[in-house]
Chain A
Amino acid sequence: MAREITEAIVDGILIGGVYALMAVGLTLIFGVLDIINIAQGVLVILGAYLSYSLFTKAHIDPFVGLLITVPAMFVIGVVIHWAFISRLRGTERTSMTLLVTYAVGLIIEGVLFKIYGANNVQINPRYVNSSVHILDFYVGWVYIWGFILALVLVAAVYVLLYRTRFGRSVRAVIQDETAARLVGINVNKVAALTFGIGVAVTAAGGEVFGLTNAFNANSGYDLISRLLSIIILGGMGSVGGALGASVFMLTLESVVTIWQPNWAVVVYYAALVIVLLYRPTGLFGRKAVRAQ
């Protein structure tokens, strides 16, 4: 029993890392831009499909393929922002971004369906099933790589936000958009670029997800609801919170699966609900600074 639990915990942590990769982009976009990007789930799947196609058609290793997919997704993100989100105005703006991104997500999902059909696929390079023997467990290589990738990217985002001039502009925009404009920051550009970064990170998330899960165009729904739960739990806008919450949620689910696989997912959401009862802003969330 103890062994099973430990294994479940280790699995949970590693998978949590993968989810963190996907959640970080989402929470960044929310924290910086006040945009709830519901399309994030589908964008992960898009990233997964891109990696998949590169692998199956051009035989490019998925991790190497990131060099292509990440910039590609970045561009896609910037375009989405420029075309749709930047045109939103008005008091209900954040709610509207949610609906707009939902719509964009629907379109992308429809397109993916048309192109790839309904069958589940998975990215299967030779090493996907090999594992490393640590202590008494077998841990899949892919998970370890994914976890490392997650840490690296999260750190990179952190550095970007806190150590670069661009990052300073971004943080200025969070604080006060008008003031940022007044000091010459091109808010639209900053917003679009930040959105692009948030989406680019999903390319990496998608690649690892595609390696470790069978997926099809519909997988986005399940994903986005989990991701949303994670970022709320961790506190919308908190990058560290996203990491912590991912690990927590996935570990919890992993452990519960030992006894009740069917209920594990319900527990997942229930955890969210319970936390919110006591801390409406999530574990590490910003206080509600903006007026409702």
Chain B
Amino acid sequence: MNEARRTGRSLPDLGTAAKGGGLLLVIVIAVLFPQVFTNPAVTNYGVLTLIFVTCATAWNIFSGNTGYISLGQAVFYGSGAYAMGIAARDWHIEGTAVFWLLPFSGAVGAVVAVPFGLIALRVRRHTFIVITIAVFFIFQLMAFNFWFTGGSSGLNSPFLSWPATTYNTPFYYIALGYVAGSVVIAWLVRRSRFGLQLRAIRDDEDRARGLGVKAMRVKLAAFAISGTITAMIGAVWFYYINQVEPQTGFDPLFDLTLVLMVFLGGFGSISGAVLGALIIEPLTLWLNTQPAFSGSVSEIMLGAIFLLVVLFMPRGIIPTGGEFITKLRMRGRPAVTITGPASSTPSAPPVSSGGAR
């Protein structure tokens, strides 16, 4: 029975300490970033990157765990943005009080997720992807056509009278808070029974159902969590750039960029989503500022990067990197023989009652 105790991570303590230290370092850097780099152009990168880190993490909570690739997260993002804009306008909310609307946006996201999920999650995986695209277009069209969404000129956010030099900083910390929150939620989901059910669904949904997993409920819950977070950060984004239009709130490239980030970093892994966003978003932002790289070229680059990632690192950086490190560690050691049950002495005394109760 002692072997049973030896469950869990088999990393040597050094590795765990290194991981913990690395995490601490990242947190410190993240918190101090705007204090050190006070140039608004730089902190702007920070804010937008953190927004995308949140989105990628939220996307991963659903798609990474269930394997259902959603290309409709923009639905939540835009809905959250518009919800805040409409509420601020119609309820005459201004200044910092607007931030109190964030939970409202989140609620809108959750409310949208339910019918969206109920329809989209009943179908096969491929069809699911396409439904998310279809719903995305419906929402974009609604944004263009409904009377209360401001049509093609969109909505403007209430004026925020903060000085230009420090305007970005509070947004940065809010976004950072969301990053922290979503990462924690992602981690909790992963470790819980709920997360286990999600991943079982990813591997073999029918079998999971056969074992009593309530697939629809579980998927819908993950979908709603993902949607709520995305809607809230969409509202933050809206207030940050002060406006939303149908094609920016519901941007066709939004989801593909998210997917690219997550795949680059490692599909299904929390740190992978974060890493992917940390790489891609600043890169995209920077490319857009280079005159040589006008709009169309950034599209080409996005597509090209994606193809390269898919072809050469299909599992993403974190898993591939992890394997690489494992390989390095294993060099020079004899291959571990996985001892089959045949060699665990067939004549061993039968374990009484087999533990079945």
A and B touch in the complex (CB under 8 A): yes
Smallest CB gap from B303: residue in A? A106
Q: A107-B303, A236-B126 are in contact. Are A113 and B296 (CB under 8 A)?
A: yes
**Interface set of B (CB-CB < 8 Å, partner A):** 67, 69, 119, 122-127, 129-131, 133-135, 137-138, 141-142, 144-145, 204-206, 252, 256, 259, 263, 295-300, 302-304, 306-307, 310-311, 314
Q: Which residue of B lies closest to A30 (CB)?
A: B126
Return chain A residues, CB-CB under 8 Å to B138: 266, 269-270, 273
A225-B137 contact in complex given A113-B295, A262-B145, C-beta closer than 8 Å: yes
Q: Is the CB of A232 within 8 A of B296?
A: no
Count how many pairs of residues, one from A and one from B, have CB atoms less than 8 Å apart in the complex: 135
Could you say which residues of chain B place their CB within 8 Å of the CB of A273? 119, 131, 134-135, 138
CB neighbours of A265 from chain B (8 A): 141
Closest Cβ–Cβ distance, residue A163 to chain B (whole Å) = 28
- Known contacts: A114-B297, A225-B133, A228-B134. The answer to whether A99 contacts B127 by CB under 8 A is no
Residue A185 interfacial (CB < 8 Å): no
- Within the complex, the shortest CB–CB distance from B129 to chain A, in Å, comes to 6
Chain B facing A: main interface SS: helix
Closest A residue to B295 by beta carbon equals A113
The A interface is mostly helix, strand or loop, or mixed, namely helix
Q: How far is the CA of A43 from the CA of B197 in the complex (A)?
A: 40
Q: A106-B299, A114-B296, A221-B252 are in contact. Are A232 and B129 (CB under 8 A)?
A: no
Q: What's the minimum C-beta distance from B343 to chain A, rounded to whole angstroms?
A: 31
Contacts of B69 in A (CB 8 A): 95, 98-99
B303, A277: Cβ atoms closer than 8 Å? no
Of A86-94, A123-131, A187-195, the stretch lying at the interface with chain B is A86-94
| Closest beta carbon of chain A to B3's beta carbon, Å | 31
B-contact 0/1 string along A112-139, CB 8 Å cutoff: 0110000000000000000000000000
Interface pair A280/B205, CB less than 8 Å apart: no
| Chain B neighbourhood of A228, CB < 8 A | 130, 133-134
* Residues of B with C-beta under 8 A to A87: 311
A169 at the interface (CB under 8 A from B): no
Closest 10 pairs between A and B when the two form their complex, measured CB to CB: A106-B303, A110-B300, A113-B296, A103-B306, A107-B303, A103-B303, A110-B299, A110-B296, A280-B123, A269-B138
A residues near B (Cβ < 8 Å) are: 30, 34, 36, 84, 87-90, 92, 94-96, 98-100, 102-107, 109-111, 113-114, 217, 221, 225, 228-229, 232, 236, 262-263, 265-266, 269-270, 272-273, 276-277, 280-282, 288, 291-292
A275 to B310, CA, bound (A): 34
The reply to whether A272 and B259 contact each other, CB–CB distance below 8 Å, is: no
Q: Given A95-B69, A98-B69, A228-B134, are A111 and B300 also a contact pair (CB < 8 Å)?
A: yes
CA distance A87 to B310 in the complex (A): 9
Chain B neighbourhood of A288, CB < 8 A:
124
* 7 examples of A-B residue contacts, CB within 8 angstroms: A94-B125, A95-B125, A102-B303, A106-B299, A236-B127, A263-B145, A273-B119
Minimal Cβ-Cβ distance residue in B for A277: B119
Would you call B126 and A95 a contact (CB within 8 A)? yes
How far, in whole Å, are A90 and B294 apart by their CA atoms in the complex? 36
Q: How far is the CA of A102 from the CA of B252 in the complex (A)?
A: 11
Shortest distance from the beta carbon of A215 to any chain B beta carbon, whole Å: 16
